[in-house]
Amino acid sequence: MKLSTPKPDQKVDLSRINLLDPQFFATGDPHEVWRYLRCNAPIYFQQLDDGRGFWSVTRYDDVCRVLKDYNTFTSQQGTMLCILNKPDIAAGKMMASTDPPRHTEMRKPLERILSAGALQSHLPGLRRVAADLLAPGLSGDLWDFAQAALMFPMAFTGALIGIPESDWKHLARQTTMSIACDDPEFMEGSPEETLRLAHHELLAYFACEIARRRRTGSGDDLIGQMMDMDVGGNRLTNEEIIFNCYGLLLGANVTTPQAASVTVLAMAENPDEYGRWASRPELLASGIEEGLRWSSPVNHFMRYAVRDIEIHGVMIRRGEAVVAWIGSANRDEQVFDNPYQFDVGRHPNRHVAFGFGPHFCIGASLARYALRALFSELLRCVERIELVGPVAHLASNFVAGINHMTVRMIPR
């Protein structure tokens, strides 16, 4: 997705904009549109040619309100635009598609497993994975960092969940297909066929794995712990385990690699800022947070209004879809000083790259640890990053991603 700096007085013809269209996010300029909407139409209805439609909220405070208020905006009717006005088969079974109190019951045991403290023992492994990822790029040869980064989360999340290494590449592709079914690089048939195939492959994979473990023993990895843990006085059903394995894998595979790629792109385009980051070790954590704000890998979360609600004088009716645009919230001029400037020392930085409210990303600690391992190694080993050729962006309205980005990393 193009990371532009819109002009304050830039006019946008909204009649020519379709925020559902994945190709718009591959080749268009969403930041120009979002800035216009924040200033002129913070609650905006997108009418589609097929009769469907959805509301967009683009200001930081409104995005947080929609994501926090589950009593007004439910997650149980679909959370992604790709299934707009279609039934969500995971509703009430997967954390992302479940409202409190059931969501809270499912989340608490997993929070303990994925807490910062519980993940401490995995830090040496994360550092090894980061070093292995960067090793091919330290030769000084041309290197497609975006393609390499796609496998980055599988090397730790896959192992944590309990997925054999032989299956990592296949499952990484399937998760990307599920959020970029319109992208020519990932399409297998029509977008609808691609989405069905990806969902079938992923759900069937975990169904077979759980069935095998029912016969041989659950194990001590994340799948095994989900099979054994108590949730509201009961064990999770097979279906609930399957959907939550899918949700955890999807969350890892669409967030971490894109945050890494877009941050590397920002460093290639801002060599002085890269030099500042490399020379100031105390800015490692704040630089990671700025990379998350800047990249905003998850473009949107969708909710449905469960009652009529008025926001900024606009009435949203019960049953209507509401899309909270994360990338827009993280550039809101009312919250972030110089929001179109990449600042590794930015403070405060109240970004919502991991969401907000009860559905705040359960894997946020793991993602932060992984990104810190990667960039501490990169800053230590790489003198500068040179971008070579154009960047190919992912065609997806859900993930602000990069398919290909050729760079040359000059070792220290």
| Whole-number Å distance between alpha carbons of 243 and 179 | 15
Within a domain: 9: no
Within a domain: 6: no
**Each residue's pLDDT tens digit, 130-146:** 999 999 999 989 999 99
Task: State the CATH number of the domain containing residue 162.
Answer: 1.10.630.10
- The answer to whether the CB of 201 falls within 8 A of the CB of 225 is no
Site of tokens 């730790």? 156
Residues 6+ apart with CB under 8 A from 160: 122, 221, 222, 366
pLDDT at 4: 81
- The answer to whether the CB of 111 falls within 8 A of the CB of 84 is no
- Where on the phi/psi map is residue 348: left (φ > 0), alpha (ψ -120 to 50), or beta? beta
pLDDT category, 345, cuts 50, 70, 90?
Answer: very high
Within a domain: 322: yes
pLDDT category, 121, cuts 50, 70, 90?
Answer: confident
Give the residue-averaged pLDDT of 314-331. 98
Nearest to 5 by CA among 331, 313, 317, 258: 331
Within a domain: 1: no
**Each residue's pLDDT tens digit, 244-260:** 999 999 988 878 999 99
User: What is the rounded radius of gyration, in angstroms, for the C-alpha atoms of the chain?
Assistant: 21
Within a domain: 8: no
- The answer to whether the CB of 31 falls within 8 A of the CB of 327 is yes
Backbone angles phi, psi at 186, to 5 degrees: -120, -5
- Where on the phi/psi map is residue 389: left (φ > 0), alpha (ψ -120 to 50), or beta? left
Within a domain: 3: no
Side chain identity, residue 340: Y
Within a domain: 5: no
Give the residue-averaged pLDDT of 31-56. 96
Domain range for 237 is 14-411
Burial class from Cβ neighbours inside 10 Å (0-12, 13-18, 19+) for residue 327 reads buried
Could you give the percent of the chain with pLDDT greater than 90? Answer: 87
Number of domains within the chain = 1
Indicate the pairing of strand 309-311 with strand 73-74.
unpaired
Q: Give the number of residues written for the chain.
A: 412
| Whole-number Å distance between alpha carbons of 401 and 260 | 10
Backbone angles phi, psi at 81, to 5 degrees: -60, -25
User: What's the DSSP call for residue 148?
Assistant: H
pLDDT at 26: 94
pLDDT at 371 over 90: yes
Nearest to 297 by CA among 243, 371, 194: 371
Within a domain: 4: no
Tell me the three state secondary structure of residue 343. Answer: coil
Q: The pTM is what?
A: 0.96
| Whole-number Å distance between alpha carbons of 265 and 259 | 10
